[in-house]
Structure formats: structure tokens, C-alpha cells
Structure 1
């Protein structure tokens, strides 16, 4: 059996020209959100990465191949972003030593395995689950209507409903689903796989969630599952990062772990600004729907982040996972102007993930709206990135940009 060819590239960058079969080209065309593909004119093909990173195996047989899309920033820096984006404290306080791996999948698997092991040191989580069954004895309550409709005149079996105290609860189903999925991925180290197998053996009563399944089983953070929260947040990330939008028919077999960097950046920015603005009496809402763009309220828009003060919108922030190489594009400015106008606020902020020094604030003609551009260089160490975020938070808390230049990393 021939090995599956591996193609390596960097997000938002082009790969060297490579040879592909017709079936493999069809495979790659079916996942345009992952890569763009174009002929080089010499019988070879060039792939260009999108804003996705990770490892994924696509197709079967002659159409099969493996993509390894590396992030533009160091893996340990990306893990810092992921920690805040997922609401996990794993990398913030040093509970887990992140693997110094070049492959993102290896680092995520290592962090998740250690986090899950730490959570289970106090024992496997159990809870009550509502069950319905046919039994020879009464357990819980008798389902009278089901008993009469299914077995009229019969004493047994009895249709009953009861609460079962079990390990097969939503939290464990999610954890086991992530454990099994990570074990199947290439690039995961042997020690990490061994730890994952050990964790899976502790969840033998649990039916795992299938990777890519949506929605995941519902669960609510509480006192009982508190120690599992970091592992659960990572597990949800792992399971959610295994589904892809595909084009064409038939459906393509996909197995992997891919992060949408634009979403990670937006969620990271939302979490950090929420924390940094709280001492100033401001709260943040991410992706909140509004119907105030037109007078009839028929147009829905969702700003990335809205900061509220005293219950009213105070500023709107838009995360742009792209490089700022000069003045912001006109379309970006128009977008913020629309948001500010609809929400009745003066200050809009564009936050870019890379670029040179940011522009001066833009005071919009015939209005009192000011749009300010910021640059957060995600390649910087977390300490410097945090300093830049503090400067942006201070500007937001002060009520706008005034005459100051834009905070940069």
C-alpha cells in the first residue's frame, strides 16, 4: 500500500510546485476554504494556503493526500491565542507544559492530554442522565401511556423512566471524542498517544462524540465539573476543528485538525478586551446581533465586539486577521462607519493582526465619528502582545482616540 503524499505549506503562502494526480486535484478543489490551487504551466500545481492551520487528510485511494499547513507565527505563540480564544486557563498559569513542537497538532494533543489527565486525577466525573427503558422491575416511574399502548394487559416488561447515575454524560462523551480523534491524527508523539490511550481506558462506560458532529452535547459549567473545564474547552476545539465546508459531490472523506485563524484572532481579542475593560466599568459583547442599521429594523448586522458603558454602546471593535500595509482599505472604514452610525456611537476601532505602524485616527467628514486602526503583531512574545492590548484597552476606556496616535505592538 503506497504512502499518502504529504504537502507542506504555510498559511496564506504558496507551496513549491508539486505533482498531483487528477483525482488529487479534484480533492483539493472540493475544499476551497483550506487552499487555492492553480497550475504552474509545467504540468505541476501550486497551492496557496488560506487563513487555516493544522493537519488534514483528504480523500481515499488515488485521490488521497495529506496537508500540513503551518502557522505564520510560532506554535507556542499560537497556543497562547488559543488559550484565551477557548476560555481555557491551560497556558496562562503554567498548569500544562506545552510541547515545543513545530506541528500544531502535536502541541494541542500534548496540552489536551495533560489537561485531561489532571482533570481525572480526582476521579472520572459522574452525573445523572434521564433514561427510558423496558424492565422486569419498576425503576423510577412507570410510563403509563407507553405501557398501555405497547403492552396492553401485560404486566411485564414495564416501560419506565428513571435517572441513571453514570459516567456516560455529556462532559465525558466530549472528552472521549477528542481523545479518540487525536489518537488518529498524524504528528502526535508516541508518549502523548500512550497517555491518550490510558485516559480512554478510564472512560470505558462512555459513548464518545464523533469528531465533526454538530451540535455537541450540551453541558453547563458548575461546581462539579469545574476541574474539567480547561480540558473540556480544548476538547470542544479539537472536535470543532475536524469539520470542513466542502464543495461538489460526492462528499469528501476528511480527517484532521484545522483551525480558522481569523476566528481564533477574533475570539482572542474578545476575551482579552473583556478582561481588560472590566476594571473600567465596561463590558464587551462579541458577535451580538443588531437590527438598527435601517429604520425598519429589517437588516441584521453583527459587529465583532461592542463595548458597553452604563448599558449603552460606547465603542465598536472589528478584528481583521490580515496585514495592515498602509491606510486601512476603504471597505473596512465604511464598515466601521456603518456600525457607529447604526449604534449611535462615536468611536470605531480596527485591530489588525500584522503590519507596520498603524495610521493616525480617521475623523470622518460630516460626522463626529472617529475610526482608529491598531496593529497587534501576533508574532511578538505574549508579554509584548499583552502590553499592546493594554494600550488599546486604555484608549477604549478613555472614550476614544482623541489626538493620540494609534497603539501598536
Structure 2
């Protein structure tokens, strides 16, 4: 690093840090909107506060110097890794806990990827059939008749199409790309880097995705189910969705890995609560669009989770990554749930907050409309098994009493959920 480099550590929550910044450095920080919050402080300095992000990113300023920004999560890395790695069909809690030996997100995440990938590849590298079109001196598979008839003169090579049984499939390409990227993460222990490179050598015959290439699509099935945990981590490392909500690459002036913590919490709650409710005969629809709030159907709503039993809407849940320490939710959160319940014809809705306390749920009955909003807190400091037990208790409470539907006589035809 050049002498002009700046090292900053900003906590996800809290008062932040106050530093002197040059115009060059300020421009680099503003070049990635939402990474941190910037506000003027005394003496011409600037206050940098967290913006619910966690990770490490290196920014390049217009003059060529660098800023290494460490965004420190509020949660212990051990707990954060569990939220990231959770999958109902393959919790693999042991690897998650073992990976968090140091309170540093990137090395722990890289170590977790190495552990999970090793376990995945120990059972053998997955092969699949891929359709190949090429020109050969002999016939293999099927002749591409139209291409072959366009030839003039000597009929060789032959234009053919065939199915090749190969390791060069979407699942292996994603895992290989993640192994290469993880091996280049900063602050990586030598042993972890060596393990990642060794695992990459197991994927001989798999093409490495060029930087900036969209990730290939894969479809979960019986054959690739053992790859699911590794693929989940690999896609997380390769996505950079926290800095670009549309899922593209980091800006050319930035490099690193950053997590959007509200998205992490929402994903965990969706997976864990969906699994817990399914055992109670309730189906969850995530991010489902509805247009039933106004009579014309022009207002679009997208609740985090809408719950159905036997095809009938029974409840609505919204995740809030806000560490609440007061009994009442913010007014805007109550308004949001009030709108969801009104549109869906429900008399009760649920807010689920991240928390580091073990406060019980609180009910808030809304005057004149007969709707009750219940606020719950998930203590993310609990061990994984206790946290999942709490999610089970939440599912039990949501489904304990039937949620009577409001009258829908005022809903016109065509204003149904989309």
C-alpha cells in the first residue's frame, strides 16, 4: 500500500468515527452510495457512520491512492456465519461454528467456503451432460445438417452436435469462480488460501468464468442436492448485490466483499420461518405482489411473507433489521403492516425484529379498524439451535389462533393479489 492509503474501521451501528478526509478521499467514498453515511463534523472533518453493511472494501480515489474500509458487523462473526449459511435441508451447523475462530468476517467466510466445498467434493466432482456444437474430422452425435449443407468442396470437418458427459457444468463453474475469488480476499490466513487453491485443482476440466460474467443458472435437483450449501456460499461471494441491488459487479473504483445486513436477516427469517410453518400446514409466499389496497388496484404492495393455509390467506409477516429496545414499533412500521392487513383482508399482522434481547412479543391494537399488529424480537445472539427454536415458537404463535378475514365486499373484480 502506498503511504497515502487510508485505513478506516466503521461499526455497523453506533456513533461512527470522525476523520479528516481530502476531497479525493471524499469523492471515493461518495462513489459507492450507501456504503457508509457521511456527515460534516467540527473542524472541517467528517463523521462516518455505519449503514447496515458488513465486510471489507478497497476504494481507489481519482488520484490513485486507496481507502481500505472495514465495516465491522454488530453480530459476532460466528452468529453472522450461521445466518448466511442456514438452509433448512442442510443446516451443517458444525462447520459454521468451527469456521468462526477469529472475529474477522472475510477469513471466516473463506474458511467456511473451504470446509463446505471440501465436504462436497469428497463425494466426487459432479458431472452432467452439456450440448456441444463443433466441427470434427469424424461424425460424433448428430450432424448439423443445415450447417453441413452450406459447405462447398471437401466435406470435412463435419458439423456435429452431441451431448458430452463433463464436469464443465454450471454448478462446478460457480464453485470454481468462488474458490478463486476467496483465495484473493485480503487478510486471508496462508492455510486457508492454500486449501482454497488445492480445492480448485480438484475441478480439472472446468472453465473459469471471466470477471464480470453473469453467473450461469442451475436448477436444484436430486443429483446436485449435495452441492447446495457450497453453491449458496459461492453465489454469495460472487454476487456483490449489497453494493449493486441489481446484482452487477462492483464499480471499477472499488473491490471487496460487502454484505447488506437487512437482506441477510430477511433471507434467514424467510427460510427458517417458511420451514417451521410448512410443518404446520402453512405455505409462505415471499415478496408476493398485491394490488388490493385501493379500489382501482393501482397501489402495489410487496410483503416479505404472506401465509396461506388451504389456499386461504391467514397472516402476513414483515422482517425488520432494527435492534429495538422500546416497547412500541416505529409509526411507519405500524402503518406498513396496517396497509398489508387492509389489502389482504386480515385482522392481524406480525413484525419480526432483529434483537440482542429476549423480550417477549407485544401486541398493538389499532383503534377503529380492529387490526392488531404484533411485534416480535429474534435474539440473534443466541446459539443456532436456540435461535431456530425461537423461530419455531414464533411460527406456533402466528398459527395458534385462526386469523379471521375482514369483509371483502368492497374489493372490485381484478384487484386480486398478483
Judge same fold: TM > 0.5, yes or no.
yes
In the TM superposition, residue 63 of structure 1 has moved relative to its aligned partner by: 4.1
Please give the secondary structure, in 1, of the residue aligned with 2:333.
Answer: helix
SS of 2:393's partner is helix
Task: Give the SS at the match of 2:205.
Answer: coil
The aligned counterpart of 2:25 is 24
- The TM-score with structure 1 as length reference comes to 0.88
The question of 1:288 aligning with 2:288 is answered yes
Q: CA deviation at 1:44?
A: 3.1
5+ long unaligned stretches in structure 1: 403-409
Shift of the alpha carbon at 1:120?
1.0
Aligned residues: 396
Task: Identify the match of residue 68 of structure 1 among 57, 67, 70.
Answer: 70
Q: Match of 2:20, SS?
A: coil
Q: Within 2, Cα distance between the matches of 1:92 and 1:269?
A: 17
Shift of 1:221: 2.1
Question: Where does residue 79 of structure 1 map in the other structure?
Answer: 81
TM-score, scaled relative to structure 2 = 0.87
1:143-199 per-residue CA deviation (whole Å, 9 max, x = no partner) reads 2222334x2444122222221221111001000110011111112211110000101
Residue of structure 1 equivalent to 2:110: 109
C-alpha displacement at 1:116, in angstroms? 0.5
1:323 alignment partner, SS class: coil
Q: Which moved more, 1:331-340 or 1:140-149?
A: 140-149
Q: In structure 1, what is the equivalent of residue 161 of structure 2? A: 161
Partner of 1:219: 218
- Give the aligned partner of residue 236 of structure 1: 235
Aligned positions of 1:76-225 closer than 5 A: 76-84=78-86, 89=90, 91-92=92-93, 94=95, 97-149=98-150, 151-210=151-210, 213-214=213-214, 216-225=215-224
- 1:89 to partner: Cα distance: 3.0
SS in 2 for 1:118: helix
Partner of 2:47: 46
* Cα distance in 2, alignment partners of residues 154 and 117 from structure 1: 50
Matches of 1:306 and 1:132, distance apart in 2: 45
Deviations for 1:186-245, whole angstroms, at most 9, x for unmatched residues? Answer: 12211110000101112232222356644x211122232222221111111111137623
1:330 to 2:299 alignment: no
Stretch deviating more after TM superposition (112-121 or 133-142): 133-142
Deviations 1:347-381 (Å, cap 9, x if unpaired)?
20011113774673122223332111112232333
1:378 and 2:377 aligned? no
SS in 2 for 1:371: strand
User: Structure 2: where are the runs of 5+ without partners?
Assistant: 405-418
Cα shift at 1:286: 1.3
- Closer, same or farther in 2 for the Cα pair 1:11/1:345, shift >3 Å? same
| Shift in Å, 1:308 | 1.1
Q: Please give the alpha-carbon distance, in whole angstroms, between the structure 2 residues aligned to 1:39 and 1:125.
A: 54
CA offset digits 1:288-310 (Å, max 9, x no partner) = 22232333434332110111111
RMSD: 2.6
Task: Write the mapping of 1:315-394 to structure 2, written as runs, cut at 5 A.
Answer: 315-324=315-324, 325-354=326-355, 357=359, 360-394=362-396
Bigger drift between 177-186 and 11-20 goes to 11-20
Shift of 1:314: 0.6
